[in-house]
């Protein structure tokens, strides 16, 4: 399996990962042979790159949560964000059950290294964002030694951290150009509105609602809605801040292209102590794969290859399968370099595509 740009996709290639539609349903399933009409359809949906089956890289990425849990999460998040359950608590037990399933499945895996390789169409940001941030937060919570009760609070608060957005006018939320001061003030209100919805309407505990309230606060007081600083911000809100910003940076949005994971991590590390809690970020980087499996990379020797395995102890030092030597000549035989064992090699660039 390897990642390629959709514009380089050819008829006959086989999809290696499902592609999700706007409402979280599988639009085109893995295993599907590409035809020109499928490729055209994907282009229309704003898909930029895809994973294809490749005999040279016989790798497969295992999902940290099952397809069934994913679908259940999308259904619940879709319902909640379409205001279907407003003024009713009927969804609360389902949310609890979902979060408990996500926690058990994450706890059951020994060494999680997240490969963010879900291919999503541009329109379904909220669905994936809610689920991804929840997975990130729970994994951070596990690393911090949280017990089950705390993980439940953290998971539920993260899944619904942006629920306040349902009461923010759509034209402001999805505005492409820069926001006016007044519009930004309205967007900031999603924290307070979210707190109200979670505490008064869904009757969640105070500490779940506080995650929605404080997730945009920053350590140096530059956040909103109150400009709280360091110890004034609950730890769970600090966790969600990291998860929320990271996922936003690595996602394609209507108004900008995504960052590659290693650059998003760089951003978080650079903003430690001003915006983010450095201890939390240090836990986060232990399970995020900086160079996703299937990604084409360039080494310092100018050799080019594909990441085929992540080393959990060294996230920045995966195993790379080399296909081109330092002069750009294609190798006749495959050669794997484990960067965790060969410290004179390192990755200098991430490519969008590599013909092999
Ligand atoms: Fe938010």
What is the 66 CA–ligand 1 centroid distance (Å)?
26
- Predicted pLDDT of residue 90: 77
Are 158 and 245 part of one and the same domain?
yes
Question: Which helix or strand (DSSP H or E) is residue 311 part of?
Answer: strand 304-311
Are 76 and 217 part of one and the same domain?
yes
Read off the CATH number of the domain in which 7 is found.
Answer: 3.90.105.10
What is the 324 CA–ligand 1 centroid distance (Å)?
43
Distance CA 275, CA 81 (A): 28
Q: Could you count the other beta carbons within 10 Å of the beta carbon of residue 242?
A: 25
Handedness of CA 60, 62, 63, 69 (dihedral sign): positive
Phi, psi of 5 (to 5 degrees): -75, 140
52-89 pLDDT, tens digit per residue, is: 998 877 776 777 888 899 999 999 998 888 877 666 67
Are 206 and 143 part of one and the same domain?
yes
What is the 163 CA–ligand 1 centroid distance (Å)?
8
Among 177-186, 235-244, 248-257, 266-275, name the one with the lowest average pLDDT.
Answer: 248-257
59 falls within a domain: no
Q: Tell how strand 26-28 and strand 19-20 pair up.
A: antiparallel
Residue 267 has pLDDT above 90, yes or no: yes
* The domain boundary residue, chosen from 284, 309, 336: 284
What is the 21 CA–ligand 1 centroid distance (Å)?
23
Q: How many structural domains compose the chain?
A: 3
Are 124 and 186 part of one and the same domain?
yes
242-252 pLDDT, tens digit per residue, is: 999 999 999 87
What is the 291 CA–ligand 1 centroid distance (Å)?
27
**Residues sharing a CB contact under 8 Å with residue 175, sequence separation 6 or more, in sequence order:** 183
- Predicted pLDDT of residue 91: 82
Distance CA 96, CA 300 (A): 48
* The domain boundary residue, chosen from 231, 264, 284: 284
Are 275 and 344 part of one and the same domain?
no
Are 139 and 266 part of one and the same domain?
yes
Angle between helices 148-159 and 235-249 (to 10 degrees): 50
Q: Read off the pLDDT band of 292 (50, 70, 90).
A: confident
Expressed as residue numbers, the domain containing 331 is 296-350
10-67 pLDDT, tens digit per residue, is: 999 999 888 887 777 888 888 999 999 999 988 888 888 888 998 877 776 777 888 8
Are 80 and 142 part of one and the same domain?
yes
207-257 pLDDT, tens digit per residue, is: 999 999 999 999 999 999 999 999 999 999 999 999 999 999 998 776 677
95-108 pLDDT, tens digit per residue, is: 999 999 999 999 99
What is the 243 CA–ligand 1 centroid distance (Å)?
11
């Amino acid at each position: 399996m390897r990642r390629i740009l959709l514009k380089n996709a050819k008829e006959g290639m086989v999809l290696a990962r499902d592609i999700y539609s706007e409402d979280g349903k599988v639009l085109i399933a893995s295993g599907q042979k590409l035809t020109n009409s499928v490729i055209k359809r994907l282009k229309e949906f704003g898909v930029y790159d895809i994973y294809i089956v490749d005999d040279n890289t016989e790798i497969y990425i295992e999902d940290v949560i099952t397809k069934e849990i994913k679908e259940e999460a999308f259904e619940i998040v879709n319902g909640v964000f379409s205001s279907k359950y407003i003024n009713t608590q009927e969804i609360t037990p389902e949310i609890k059950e979902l979060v408990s399933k996500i926690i058990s499945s994450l706890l059951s895996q020994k060494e999680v290294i997240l490969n963010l390789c879900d291919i999503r169409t541009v329109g379904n940001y909220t669905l994936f964002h809610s689920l991804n941030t929840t997975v990130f937060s729970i994994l951070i919570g596990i690393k911090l030694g949280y017990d089950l009760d705390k993980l439940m609070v953290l998971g539920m608060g993260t899944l619904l951290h942006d629920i306040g957005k349902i009461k923010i006018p759509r034209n402001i939320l999805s505005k492409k150009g820069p926001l006016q001061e007044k519009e930004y003030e309205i967007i900031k209100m999603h924290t307070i509105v979210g707190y109200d919805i979670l505490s008064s309407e869904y009757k969640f505990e105070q500490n779940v609602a506080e995650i929605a309230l404080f997730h945009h606060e920053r350590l140096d007081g530059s956040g909103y809605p109150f400009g709280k600083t360091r110890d004034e911000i609950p730890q769970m809100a600090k966790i969600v801040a990291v998860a929320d910003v990271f996922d936003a940076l690595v996602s394609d949005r209507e108004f900008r292209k995504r960052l590659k994971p290693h650059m998003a991590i760089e951003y978080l590390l650079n903003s430690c102590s001003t915006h983010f809690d450095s201890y939390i970020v240090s836990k986060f980087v232990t399970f995020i794969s900086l160079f996703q499996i299937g990604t084409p990379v360039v080494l310092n020797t100018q050799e080019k290859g594909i990441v085929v395995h992540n080393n959990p102890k060294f996230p920045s030092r995966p195993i790379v399968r080399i296909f081109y030597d330092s002069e750009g000549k294609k190798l006749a035989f495959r050669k794997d370099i484990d960067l965790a064992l060969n410290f004179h090699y390192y990755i200098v660039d991430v490519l969008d595509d590599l013909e092999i």
